[in-house]
Structure 1
Amino acid sequence: MFSLQTIFGSGKQFFILLDEAAVAAHDSTKALYEMLKDPGRNMGLDAFKLARQRERVASDKIGKALVDSFITPIEREDIESLSSALYKIPKQVERFADRFALARHRLDGIDFAPRAAMLEKAAGVVVEMVGELRLMRLEEMSKLNERLRVLEAEADRLILELHRDIYSGRLDAGEMFLLKEFFEILEKAIDRCREAGVVAYQIVLKNS
């Protein structure tokens, strides 16, 4: 008969792969913040593509491990949900970066950096939450979940302020449409961090 320690230890690779996915997502947000805090610098898109590729590799490995493994440390559905949520973060970030690189000449005076800083912090909290899954400490995870909630609320406030530029009257219809698209992508990226955090928190609630 397997001991509980043997059973849970046998699924260690899932925690490692989820960590890799979370770190890749965080790295993509770091690259975005670097791009947006100095928009005049001609920064390439390699960092975003690399982070997305690392995330994709980790996601593929998780999917394969779920097929190959008889025992998992947490429910398969939870692993799939968290992997999917993490996958969506660098996807949104790369989408923003690609469009920003093309349209930066039309975005003079629009400072996205404070919002990108909130996104980077939120992704950092997600990394901590994923790391906590090994320990299943509800109290610690609750604190991290609250930190993420506060960051999301602050990011929402900052994005709402950006909407003032849309309705300021100084923009033409094309510029208004462009800014609205950027706001929505950035807001979705922050939402994706929150979604990943909620999945991680619920896993601990279920298993504590």
Structure 2
Amino acid sequence: MIFNRSKDSVFYHTLVEAASNIVEAMQLFRQNVETLQHKEDYAEKLKDLENKGDEFTHILIRELNSTFVTPMDREDIKELAIKLDDILDGVEACASRFVYYNVEKTTPYLMQFAELLEKVAEHLQEAFIALQKREFPTIQNLVVEINLVENQADRLMRQSVGSLFEEQKDPVELIKMKELYEKLEGVTDSAEDLADVLESVVMKYA
């Protein structure tokens, strides 16, 4: 495939915008878990960003349907769009659960998850900017960083869930916090899945 045609910019620009939207979502999520005092407001804001992310997905699919020659394999572009959407859906779902699970207090584990999510989002944004510039070694380095963050999140999930069974006496609290911790770790899994697609693209075109 040939890169850098004028039509290609629509795909690259939209992917970068979608990744930037995720960075904004993760920043809001981190602010939210600092106190959880305004969780309803943050849940609304994250829902707006999730809707915005859906629009980016629609743009990419529409462009795929109307473009004869694409800058990457169609399946790769589609997978990148889907995986970006999965990440945003996951963090929005966690913010919503704070509201309808009535989570009143933050925890050190929630803060650590939020920091990891913000970090992984920044890595993804850098990776899509590098993809637009065809800086493939940069993408490979960022894929390694994303995998390291996912490993950290996996360890954090085990620690956080383990602490619940040691310290939490209320079974309802245990169940809802366990699901939240596991779901947050699942968001980093989605980021790793996206990084795998980016790595596959690099192998094809580098």
TM-score (norm 1): 0.90
Q: CA deviation at 1:142?
A: 1.5
Residues 18 and 109 of structure 1, relative CA distance in 2, 3 Å threshold: closer
- 1:134 maps to a residue whose letter is Q
CA distance in 1, matches of 2:107, 2:17: 36
Per the alignment, residue 155 of structure 2 pairs with: 157
| Residues 184-203 of structure 1 mapped to structure 2, 5 A cutoff | 184-203=182-201
Deviation string 1:68-99 (CA, Å, 9 cap, x unpaired) is: 11121111110000000001111011110011
Residues 109 and 199 of structure 1, relative CA distance in 2, 3 Å threshold: closer
Per the alignment, residue 19 of structure 2 pairs with: 22
Which of 112, 137, 151 is the aligned partner of 2:110? 112
CA distance in 2, matches of 1:33, 1:19: 21
Deviation string 1:163-184 (CA, Å, 9 cap, x unpaired) is: 1222115323222211121112
CA distance in 2, matches of 1:5, 1:122: 27
- Confirm or deny: 8 A CA contact 1:106 1:175 kept in the other structure: no
Residues 205 and 30 of structure 1, relative CA distance in 2, 3 Å threshold: same
Q: CA deviation at 1:154?
A: 1.5
- The unaligned stretches of length 5 or more in structure 2 are none
Counterpart secondary structure, 1:9: coil
- The unaligned stretches of length 5 or more in structure 1 are none
Per the alignment, residue 142 of structure 2 pairs with: 144
Which of 59, 68, 77 is the aligned partner of 1:61? 59
- Using the TM superposition, name which of 67-76 and 174-183 deviates more: 174-183
Aligned pairs, number = 205
Per the alignment, residue 30 of structure 2 pairs with: 33
- Confirm or deny: 8 A CA contact 1:156 1:187 kept in the other structure: yes
CA distance in 2, matches of 1:150, 1:5: 30
TM-score (norm 2): 0.91
| Residues 90-101 of structure 1 mapped to structure 2, 5 A cutoff | 90-101=88-99
CA distance in 2, matches of 1:104, 1:145: 36
- Confirm or deny: 8 A CA contact 1:25 1:87 kept in the other structure: no
Over aligned residue pairs, what C-alpha RMSD do you find? 2.0
- Confirm or deny: 8 A CA contact 2:127 2:142 kept in the other structure: yes
- 2:79 maps to a residue whose letter is S
Q: CA deviation at 1:40?
A: 3.3
CA distance in 1, matches of 2:87, 2:58: 16
CA distance in 2, matches of 1:53, 1:170: 36
- 1:146 maps to a residue whose letter is V
- Confirm or deny: 8 A CA contact 2:39 2:98 kept in the other structure: no
CA distance in 2, matches of 1:42, 1:204: 39
Per the alignment, residue 9 of structure 2 pairs with: 12
- Using the TM superposition, name which of 169-178 and 154-163 deviates more: 169-178
Deviation string 1:141-166 (CA, Å, 9 cap, x unpaired) is: 11111111111111222222111222
- Structure of greater Rg: 1
- Using the TM superposition, name which of 193-202 and 42-51 deviates more: 42-51
Residues 141 and 173 of structure 1, relative CA distance in 2, 3 Å threshold: same
Q: CA deviation at 1:43?
A: 5.4
- 2:141 maps to a residue whose letter is K
Q: CA deviation at 1:122?
A: 0.3
Counterpart secondary structure, 2:68: coil
Counterpart secondary structure, 1:171: coil
